[in-house]
Amino acid sequence: MKSEEKRRREEGRRAGSELARVLEEALSKIKPTDAERRRLEKITAFLVDEVNREAKRRSVPARGILVGSAARDTWLSGQRDVDVFVMLPADFSDDALERAGMELARGVAKRVAERYEERYASHPYVHAWVRYESVFPAEGQWESDVYEVDIVPCFSVSSAAAIRSAVDRTPFHNEYVKRRIKGLEDEVRLLKQFLKGLEIYGAEHKTQGFSGYLCELLIIHYGSFLALLEDAAHWKFRTLIDIEQHGRYEIKGDEPLIVIDPVDPGRNVAAAVSVDSFAKFVDAARSFLENPSLEFFFPSERRELSREEFLEIVKKKGTDVVLVVFDAPDVVDDILFPQLRKALASISKLIERHGFRIFRREAAAVGRKAFFVFEMEVSELPSVRRHFGPPVTAEVHARRFKAKYAGTQMYIENGRYVAEIPRKYVDVVDLLKEELRACALGKHVSEAVARGYEVMRNEEIEFFEGLGKFFSKYFSSSVKG
């Protein structure tokens, strides 16, 4: 701690005492108390022992290790997440791993957890809720002190190059970070909270932001939160960070940020970071350095927008807000959001193909509802459209065109026939009611929409739980001046 405190103070002086004050205050809110930390250390140690005891009991050649932010002391105050990995011999078959590993995990959960469930990522694992006082009854009550524990079986491979599934890599990340993070833990905490404030913390599809491991690597690389921001303020797209100087990563895709995994040079740790998450971070780094404030770490809660306020705003802007709402399919966000984004693009194409003009669009899921917002610049059109035919000199096509559109007003422009024909949809709402389902919506969204959906415009929009909050965010700036 000592050296860290000193460094931050020095930086503080460089960046101005106001900056230092803000960082101190932010940290004071996110740094676990000693009591909090003691309890976490105690329960994590207990859980690892439990895994090992269970292994002995079943005479399975497995050992438990603690990974994740709990293992690196980079967790934020209030967090109660624990990741315990169950390392099994690399020569086990996948089935054997799954059977032995999961039985062991279940065994532990049954004994220590209030309740648990089995989940599946690239591998099956157990997610358990463990109440501190039920494990250590001696100590008094602690409000809502329930830890969420993942017990994850994996192969104990010799090197990260030899992994058999993504989870096998985690222990190597764990080792790498633990060996280097000492003294930088609070810097990681500041970064994580900063990203939370920007809503770009987390690598899942919904967020498309920065993972905890990525945060740790960035701090290891730059040495401090401020040093990172000062550099990020000048980042360009396709910034490449190669901590271990592997220099072997051939850049694929168009990822805006490339942070080569120290334990696996073929992998970009920042692959999940979208262009806009990247841009938000760069923009915020600059703004924060220019005038630092706690707002970045703890943005003030947005109040719900009332239906009346919503209508007032839309009236003032003169746009038309068209909402397509349906019951969110019962799938995890990591499956839902890629489909919502795909659908949004596909529906937008449909709308523009019919001549309407979109001002701004967004896809979202709030509570039990999923929806698309199309803020329209042009949502209604004339009842006719100009259909351009062949050049007059293209004899065969000309004959066909004139026969097909006989009866409509027809004239020649720039040597081609033009026919004024009825427009199929004069109102974007009708278009969406009729043809939404013809779009590429993705499996689950498509099924959900098939079960029924509503298309509403402006005053037709009924406000459901959370929509007011969504709009209050939608209608306010997402970058700080």
Whole-angstrom CA distances from 391 to 25, 420, 479 are 72, 16, 50
Cα distance between residue 143 and residue 466, in whole Å = 28
With respect to its own copies, which residue has the nearer C-beta, 438 or 479? Answer: 479
Tokens of 160: 């990260």
CB of 199 to its own copies, least distance (A): 12
CA distances from 75 to 80, 272, 295, 299 (A): 9, 21, 21, 20
**Please, what is the minimum distance in Å from the beta carbon of residue 433 to its own copies?**
19
Closest by Cα among 115, 48, 128, 129 to 86 = 48
Which CB sits closer to its own copies, 119 or 317? Answer: 317
CB of 9 or CB of 286, closer to its own copies: 286
The residues that bridge with 116 in the sheet, in sequence order, are: 128
**CA-to-CA distance for 424 and 437, rounded, in angstroms?**
17
Copy the structure tokens of residue 284: 């915020």
φ, ψ for residue 478 (rounded to 5)?
A: -110, 5
Strands 320-327 and 369-378: antiparallel
| Nearest approach, Cβ of residue 479 and its own copies (Å) | 5
Q: Of the two residues 182 and 399, which places its CB atom closer to its own copies in the complex?
A: 399
Nearer to its own copies, 279 or 350 (CB): 279
Q: How far is the CB of 442 from its own copies (least distance, A)?
A: 21
Distance of CA 408 to the CA centre of its chain: 52
Q: How far is the CB of 409 from its own copies (least distance, A)?
A: 5
- Residue closer to its own copies (CB basis): 262 or 389: 389
Shortest CB 389 distance to its own copies, Å: 10
Phi, psi of 142 (to 5 degrees): -140, 125
- Rounded CA separation 280/274 (Å): 10
Residues that bind its own copies (CB under 8 A): 233-237, 256, 275-276, 278-280, 282-283, 286, 316-319, 355, 357, 359-360, 377-378, 381-384, 386, 391-393, 395, 398-399, 402, 406, 408-417, 420, 426, 475-479, 481
* For its own copies, the closer CB: 100 or 305: 305
Q: Which one-letter DSSP state was computed for residue 460? A: G
- Is the distance from CB of 268 to CB of 241 less than 8 angstroms? no
Taking the complex as a whole, the smallest distance from the CB of residue 425 to its own copies amounts, in Å, to: 12
Shortest Cβ 13–its own copies spacing (Å): 25
Instruction: With beta carbons less than 8 A apart as the criterion, state whether 302 and 476 touch.
Output: yes
Between 235 and 464, CB nearer to its own copies = 235
